[in-house]
Chain A
Amino acid sequence: MSDAPRALRPPPSLVALAAVFIAFWLAAASLPFLWTAWGSLKLEGDFFSLVSWKDAFFGPRTEALTGSPFTFQAYRDVWIGQEFWRQALNTVVITLGVTIVSLTFGTLGGYALARSTARYAFWILVLALVFRAMPGLTLVSGYLLPFFEWNLWGHQWTTIIVLVALNQPFTLWLLHSFFLSIPRDLDESALIDGCSRLQAFRMVIMPVMWPGVITTGIFSFLVGYSDFVICAMLLREDNQTMVPKIIGFLGTTQQPGQVMYAVAATVSVILPLLVLVMFSQRRIVGGLVAGAVKG
């Protein structure tokens, strides 16, 4: 804080202490991923060495078998051999579906909640908060039997709509707080000029809402991309997404190399997220703050 008055500035010893603590935390936050990425370029015999923990660093077996201490063997095995690209495609479908439907429902609802002065608007928000507390598995045990009976189980669109519904509470809260920051005068003047509510919403409000919509969209994307419980329980083997599939690699009987499928697939799942955060760090932070503080 360079603009703080001199006396408010922390003493150097405190800054040093903070720096050490933060360095420790950043190592804890990032090393597991770096280490997994490093290990994904080794063979199982080195990354999970029975001989010595040092093998994972130098990769003696990897070098002996492939001629280099680094190999893309695990990635070839999982993406081509295990056809992991199928799960990647399924994830794209689920993620796109969740983002689009979630934003459509959420902007309409969030707008209504932000513009209504009625008491029930508050109660709907509280109800959404209570719904948010329901653990996914509790609801899944409610879905399965009816879904089996009515032949809804195992379809991607069912999973999409379930994920959308489960995350509507958060989406509504977030978009509601973004809509609150847009002055009411804007839609009122549009209404006076002869727009219908829907026209005012579409042509006047939405164009200035893009930042909020993009932020909410990132969170919807993350929901579809990261989900484990719902996808694992509601999708079939052949339209499964990436995250449950990784657990699937580990679940079956251990064969040599099987764990490396999971390692390479894990790194493949994390990499797009690293890129996403790099480009949308500010929006993610802004969204978390808007959802928690203003809400």
Chain B
Amino acid sequence: MDIYPIGTVRKLLTTDAVTEPTRKALEKRLSETENYQPKFFDAAEFALLDAVCRRLIIQDEDVEFVNCAAFIDKSLSENESNGWRYDKLPNDAETFRGGIGGINETAQNKFGAEFVKLNESQQNEILTEIQTGKAAVKTWMTLSAKLFFEELLAKAVEVYYAHPFAQERIGYVGMADASGWTQIKLNEREPREPEKIGDSAA
């Protein structure tokens, strides 16, 4: 795994390398889930979603945490659409509420406990069963487990990699483009672009 320095994007946000609309968008993202209270899910559902997101998106312990569950809850509460959905799925609200319930039902059925009470490897097992359509509990008879999982995963990664903390980890500073880029060929780098500072075993 490549390691990039922490704080690069946040530092660039304080400079002229970032346009005003870009700064506004990213600063909002940095603060908008502080002290977040769920609006779409109830507390138990939200705790479950948070546990699921922590299995889907592994975050480094040495950097601030991106609250993916909060971004997902917020998007659902605002009825945000990405322009399409699988015809086989009900609307987003029903898909996500139903699917979150289905995760718990699958956990109860297999391990006799709520999803949040399971250890990491048990949680991974439950999620894999759902992703591959092997979980056979009532929820998944009317809701496609595979498609629900795809939607959940896509939403989780999209909110995560839109966040400056995640972008810093992968060495992305494309937002710092107020003056454009001139060093665009292979191995070319402009001074404001970070270089990796090391490798770690994954």
A and B are partners in one complex rather than unrelated chains: no
